[in-house]
Chain A
Amino acid sequence: MAKATPEKTTAPEYPLTTNAVIAPVLGWIIPGAGHIFLKRYVRGILLLISVFAMFFIGLGMNGRVYQPNGGDILDILGFVGDVGAGGLYILARIMDWGNAMAANAAADYGKTFIIVAGLLNFIAAADAHHIALGKKP
């Protein structure tokens, strides 16, 4: 007859805290705000400048802002990238920015800048989560 092995009940190494939820959400809505909330002021400001600059340079180059009902798989992927910019994406949709269709190379670059701004903000939000958990100083 097999012996019953006692189950180990260990606490998670990095327990989920309130800050670990608030920081990434805040960072997603306002780029860099998650780091600023966690008192990483320089990192937060640099992230804010970088994501804002990428997003608005993209808009300035007549880049397109994707909408959720794109239909085409590439449009859906573009939307997923764009929505990473959080509050900036919502602002762009409210203000009806980024409606121009890509007619030249610069506009195509602009579209890429906007998508990458969103993707970088996803990374920044995940970083804020790791800092709040204590995985990263």
Chain B
Amino acid sequence: MTFTLTHFSAAVVFALFTSIVFGITQKNSTREQVRYGLYCFAMFVGGVFVAGWAMWLIRR
């Protein structure tokens, strides 16, 4: 089975699963794990937007 994700959806899927693993492995309590997972996800997706706007500015 072959499929293609857009750049953005690939980045979001990557951020989702990576954040889950980071949250579970880097913190001890369940609450800390959820908070850290959400923080990583926000940083990943936020980074996508920052990089996207930076490339838009460079291109102009």
Contact = CB atoms under 8 A, between A and B. Distances in A.
B53 interface: no
Interface string B1-42: 111110100100110011011101100110000000000000
* Residue of B10, B14, B18, B21 ringed by the most chain A CB atoms within 10 A: B21
B25 A124 contact: yes
Contacts of B21: 47, 50-51, 120, 123-124
The secondary structure that dominates the A interface is: helix
A4 B31 CA distance: 51
B8 to A, nearest CB: 11
Interface in A50-76: 50-51, 53-54, 57, 60-62
A53 B2 contact: no
A47 B1 contact: no
A137 B28 contact: yes
Given A50-B21, A109-B10, A113-B14, A61 B28 contact: no
B37 to A, nearest CB: 9
A43 B24 contact: yes
Contacts of B7: 105, 109
15 contacts: A47-B20, A47-B21, A54-B17, A54-B18, A60-B1, A61-B2, A61-B4, A61-B10, A62-B2, A106-B4, A109-B10, A123-B22, A126-B25, A127-B24, A127-B25
